[in-house]
Amino acid sequence: MMTVLNCVAVEHDIRLVILGVIICVIGSWAVLCLFHRGSNAARLQKTGWHLLAAAVSGASIWCTHFVSMLSYDPGVPVSFEPVMTLASFLAAMIGTAFGFTVAHGGWGRYAAAAGGGIVGLSIAAMHYMGMQAYRVQGLVSWDLSYLAASILIAVTLAAVALHVATRSERWSDRYRATGVLVLAIVGLHFTGMAAFRVTPLLIDGAYSNPGAQQALILAVAIVALVILGAGLAIYLLDGNLRAQSLERLYHLTMQDCLAGRRDAPAAATD
């Protein structure tokens, strides 16, 4: 535990860590709102909500990881391999889509937990694929105990998050599920980073560009917030349309009832 805390406090830029956590919190809340809306939708609509939740989930998980990675200082020049970086995003999106589908599959009382476990595995796959895209001027080694612990944290907490999210309609459960999902994502990242070791191997002419990295961080954060905002906007618009439809149905029902009462005496007189 102290190794993980030391990794956060000493080896990361705390300002960027806070930014990553903010993205993670907003994203987790948006994902669970979309996931919950999908649970009450018809079959075809359910698929659409799952895909939207997966896109927002992939974006928020990946951006949290990316910002946090850029906040990490290994003490040597770094770069990112673009193909594997993109593949890590796709792993997060596809894996969470499959997990959400399993969670709403109606395959028993533990379906939500099983789906959450798949979501946790997709978070882990995204993280370690992203680490494969992380190029450092040094020799990389891993502490396998921390690596295994990070995957266990992600799978267990994500399973709990989706189980809590599907347990009831109460907002308090959604808040709890959001907090647990944030812990799953953040816990995996920083426990995984505690497993990461770099032995410097500096090469003449190799360097990192701090200005370019900061610009990239800002761009990633903006894109993440735009995607999350779009997901929440769709959720809120759908909620308003539902409320308007229910209100319209209520008024039509009341009018039919009043019309029926007026016609009743006339029918009796005849």
Q: Which pLDDT score is estimated for 188?
A: 92
What confidence score (pLDDT) does residue 219 get?
65
Q: Would you give per-residue pLDDT tens digits along the chain (270 residues)? A: 556 776 777 777 788 788 888 888 888 888 888 787 777 666 777 777 778 888 888 888 888 888 888 778 777 777 778 888 888 888 988 999 899 888 877 677 788 899 999 999 999 999 999 888 888 877 888 889 999 999 999 999 999 999 888 876 677 777 888 899 999 999 998 898 888 888 877 665 555 555 556 666 666 667 666 666 666 666 666 555 455 444 554 445 555 555 555 555 555 555
> How many whole angstroms separate alpha carbon 14 and alpha carbon 9?
7
| Amino acid occupying residue 168 | S
For 177, how many CA atoms within 13 A lie in the half-sphere containing its CB?
A: 27
Strands 138-142 and 196-200: antiparallel
Q: What is the pLDDT of residue 30?
A: 83
Question: Distance (Å, rounded) from C-alpha 125 to C-alpha 123?
Answer: 5
The count of residues in the chain is: 270
* Phi, psi angles (nearest 5°) of residue 264: -60, -50
The confidence score (pLDDT) of residue 154 equals 94
Give me the pLDDT at residue 116, please.
92
* 3-state secondary structure at position 263: helix
Tokens coding 218: 């800002």
What is the pLDDT at residue 250?
A: 44
Q: What is the predicted pLDDT for the residue at 241?
A: 47
